[in-house]
Structure 1
Amino acid sequence: MEDVNYIKVFSGNFIIVQLVLDRLQSIGINAIIKDESESGRLAGFGSSIQGFQELFVNKDELDNALPIVESVKSELKV
Protein backbone atom coordinates (compact mmCIF):
# COMPACT_ATOMS: atom_id res chain seq x y z
CA MET A 1 0.00 0.00 0.00
CA GLU A 2 1.21 3.48 -0.85
CA ASP A 3 2.18 5.82 1.98
CA VAL A 4 -0.02 8.89 1.76
CA ASN A 5 1.38 12.13 3.15
CA TYR A 6 -1.83 14.16 2.94
CA ILE A 7 -5.00 13.83 4.99
CA LYS A 8 -8.43 15.29 4.25
CA VAL A 9 -9.37 17.81 6.94
CA PHE A 10 -12.44 19.44 5.43
CA SER A 11 -14.93 19.19 2.60
CA GLY A 12 -17.64 21.58 1.54
CA ASN A 13 -18.59 24.31 -0.88
CA PHE A 14 -16.08 26.55 -2.62
CA ILE A 15 -16.59 29.60 -0.40
CA ILE A 16 -16.13 27.82 2.93
CA VAL A 17 -13.15 25.84 1.63
CA GLN A 18 -11.54 29.12 0.53
CA LEU A 19 -12.11 30.57 4.01
CA VAL A 20 -10.46 27.56 5.68
CA LEU A 21 -7.63 27.66 3.13
CA ASP A 22 -7.02 31.36 3.83
CA ARG A 23 -6.89 30.77 7.58
CA LEU A 24 -4.50 27.84 7.14
CA GLN A 25 -2.23 29.86 4.87
CA SER A 26 -2.16 32.69 7.42
CA ILE A 27 -0.37 30.36 9.85
CA GLY A 28 1.95 28.93 7.20
CA ILE A 29 0.11 25.73 6.27
CA ASN A 30 0.00 25.00 2.55
CA ALA A 31 -3.12 22.94 1.95
CA ILE A 32 -4.20 21.22 -1.25
CA ILE A 33 -7.69 21.57 -2.72
CA LYS A 34 -9.24 18.69 -4.62
CA ASP A 35 -12.16 19.66 -6.86
CA GLU A 36 -13.44 16.72 -8.86
CA SER A 37 -16.26 18.71 -10.44
CA GLU A 38 -13.78 21.20 -11.89
CA SER A 39 -11.50 18.38 -13.05
CA GLY A 40 -14.46 16.71 -14.74
CA ARG A 41 -15.55 19.96 -16.36
CA LEU A 42 -12.08 20.55 -17.75
CA ALA A 43 -12.05 17.01 -19.11
CA GLY A 44 -15.45 17.51 -20.77
CA PHE A 45 -17.59 15.62 -18.27
CA GLY A 46 -20.42 16.95 -16.15
CA SER A 47 -20.77 16.70 -12.40
CA SER A 48 -23.86 16.65 -10.23
CA ILE A 49 -22.20 18.43 -7.30
CA GLN A 50 -20.79 21.73 -8.54
CA GLY A 51 -18.47 23.63 -6.23
CA PHE A 52 -17.85 20.75 -3.80
CA GLN A 53 -14.21 20.65 -2.76
CA GLU A 54 -11.99 18.72 -0.38
CA LEU A 55 -9.10 20.22 1.57
CA PHE A 56 -5.99 18.20 2.41
CA VAL A 57 -2.98 19.00 4.61
CA ASN A 58 0.33 17.26 5.13
CA LYS A 59 0.38 14.77 8.02
CA ASP A 60 3.09 16.83 9.70
CA GLU A 61 0.80 19.88 9.82
CA LEU A 62 -2.35 18.07 10.93
CA ASP A 63 -2.11 19.02 14.63
CA ASN A 64 -1.90 22.71 13.72
CA ALA A 65 -4.57 22.54 11.00
CA LEU A 66 -7.38 20.83 12.91
CA PRO A 67 -8.00 23.67 15.41
CA ILE A 68 -8.31 26.11 12.48
CA VAL A 69 -10.80 23.85 10.70
CA GLU A 70 -12.83 23.35 13.87
CA SER A 71 -12.82 27.10 14.51
CA VAL A 72 -14.26 27.86 11.07
CA LYS A 73 -16.83 25.09 11.42
CA SER A 74 -18.00 26.43 14.77
CA GLU A 75 -18.17 29.99 13.44
CA LEU A 76 -20.35 28.90 10.52
CA LYS A 77 -22.10 26.00 12.26
CA VAL A 78 -21.03 23.67 9.42
Structure 2
Amino acid sequence: MKDSNFVKIYTGNFAFVNRIVMELNALDISPVVKDQSESAILGGFGGTLAPDFQEIFVHESEVDKAIPIVESVTKEMQP
Protein backbone atom coordinates (compact mmCIF):
# COMPACT_ATOMS: atom_id res chain seq x y z
CA MET A 1 0.00 0.00 0.00
CA LYS A 2 2.69 2.46 -0.92
CA ASP A 3 1.73 5.96 -2.00
CA SER A 4 -1.60 5.79 -0.21
CA ASN A 5 -3.21 7.47 2.75
CA PHE A 6 -3.22 4.22 4.73
CA VAL A 7 -0.72 3.20 7.41
CA LYS A 8 0.05 -0.33 8.59
CA ILE A 9 -0.64 -0.55 12.32
CA TYR A 10 -0.42 -4.28 12.99
CA THR A 11 0.86 -7.54 11.55
CA GLY A 12 -0.13 -10.82 13.12
CA ASN A 13 -2.30 -13.89 13.21
CA PHE A 14 -5.98 -14.29 12.39
CA ALA A 15 -7.23 -14.28 16.00
CA PHE A 16 -5.47 -11.05 16.95
CA VAL A 17 -6.42 -9.36 13.69
CA ASN A 18 -10.11 -10.23 14.08
CA ARG A 19 -10.19 -8.94 17.65
CA ILE A 20 -8.43 -5.69 16.72
CA VAL A 21 -10.73 -5.16 13.74
CA MET A 22 -13.78 -5.69 15.98
CA GLU A 23 -12.51 -3.09 18.47
CA LEU A 24 -11.64 -0.60 15.71
CA ASN A 25 -15.06 -0.99 14.12
CA ALA A 26 -16.66 -0.27 17.51
CA LEU A 27 -14.93 3.13 17.39
CA ASP A 28 -16.10 3.78 13.81
CA ILE A 29 -12.61 3.19 12.45
CA SER A 30 -12.68 1.27 9.18
CA PRO A 31 -9.55 -0.88 8.95
CA VAL A 32 -8.32 -2.60 5.82
CA VAL A 33 -7.04 -6.15 6.31
CA LYS A 34 -4.48 -7.49 3.87
CA ASP A 35 -4.16 -11.28 3.86
CA GLN A 36 -1.04 -12.38 1.99
CA SER A 37 -2.00 -16.05 1.79
CA GLU A 38 -5.51 -15.35 0.50
CA SER A 39 -4.13 -12.96 -2.11
CA ALA A 40 -1.63 -15.58 -3.27
CA ILE A 41 -4.32 -18.26 -3.55
CA LEU A 42 -6.67 -15.99 -5.47
CA GLY A 43 -3.80 -14.99 -7.75
CA GLY A 44 -3.07 -18.62 -8.56
CA PHE A 45 0.25 -18.73 -6.75
CA GLY A 46 -0.72 -21.15 -3.98
CA GLY A 47 -0.34 -20.44 -0.30
CA THR A 48 2.44 -18.72 1.58
CA LEU A 49 4.84 -19.99 4.22
CA ALA A 50 2.92 -18.02 6.88
CA PRO A 51 -0.78 -18.75 6.35
CA ASP A 52 -1.82 -16.85 9.47
CA PHE A 53 -0.02 -13.68 8.43
CA GLN A 54 -2.32 -10.65 8.08
CA GLU A 55 -1.82 -6.90 8.16
CA ILE A 56 -4.14 -4.15 9.37
CA PHE A 57 -4.10 -0.71 7.77
CA VAL A 58 -6.03 2.40 8.80
CA HIS A 59 -6.37 5.81 7.24
CA GLU A 60 -3.60 8.14 8.37
CA SER A 61 -6.16 10.42 10.04
CA GLU A 62 -7.19 7.54 12.36
CA VAL A 63 -3.76 6.25 13.38
CA ASP A 64 -3.70 8.13 16.70
CA LYS A 65 -7.01 6.57 17.72
CA ALA A 66 -6.14 3.09 16.41
CA ILE A 67 -2.71 2.50 17.96
CA PRO A 68 -3.96 2.46 21.58
CA ILE A 69 -6.54 -0.18 20.58
CA VAL A 70 -3.84 -2.38 19.05
CA GLU A 71 -1.67 -2.01 22.15
CA SER A 72 -4.57 -2.78 24.47
CA VAL A 73 -5.73 -5.87 22.58
CA THR A 74 -2.26 -7.33 22.13
CA LYS A 75 -1.44 -6.78 25.81
CA GLU A 76 -4.74 -8.33 26.88
CA MET A 77 -4.27 -11.41 24.67
CA GLN A 78 -0.71 -12.20 25.78
CA PRO A 79 -0.33 -15.30 28.00
Q: Is TM (by shorter chain) over 0.5? A: yes
2:9 aligned counterpart, secondary structure: strand
Aligned to 2:69: 68
Instruction: Give the aligned residue type for 2:35.
Output: D
Q: CA deviation at 1:59?
A: 0.5
* Structure 1 portions without partners, runs of 5+: none
The CA deviation string for residues 8-62 of structure 1, in whole angstroms up to 9 with x for no partner, is: 0011111110100000000100000011110101122121111210000001001
Aligned to 1:44: 44
- Given the two structures, how large is their TM-score scaled by the length of structure 1? 0.90
Q: CA deviation at 1:77?
A: 2.3
CA distance in 1, matches of 2:52, 2:39: 11
Between the aligned residues of both structures, percent identity stands at 43
Aligned to 2:15: 15
Which 4+ runs in 1 deviate beyond 6 A? none
Q: Aligned residue pairs: how many?
A: 77
Aligned to 1:53: 54
- Given the two structures, how large is their TM-score scaled by the length of structure 2? 0.89
* Structure 2 portions without partners, runs of 5+: none
2:28 aligned counterpart, secondary structure: coil
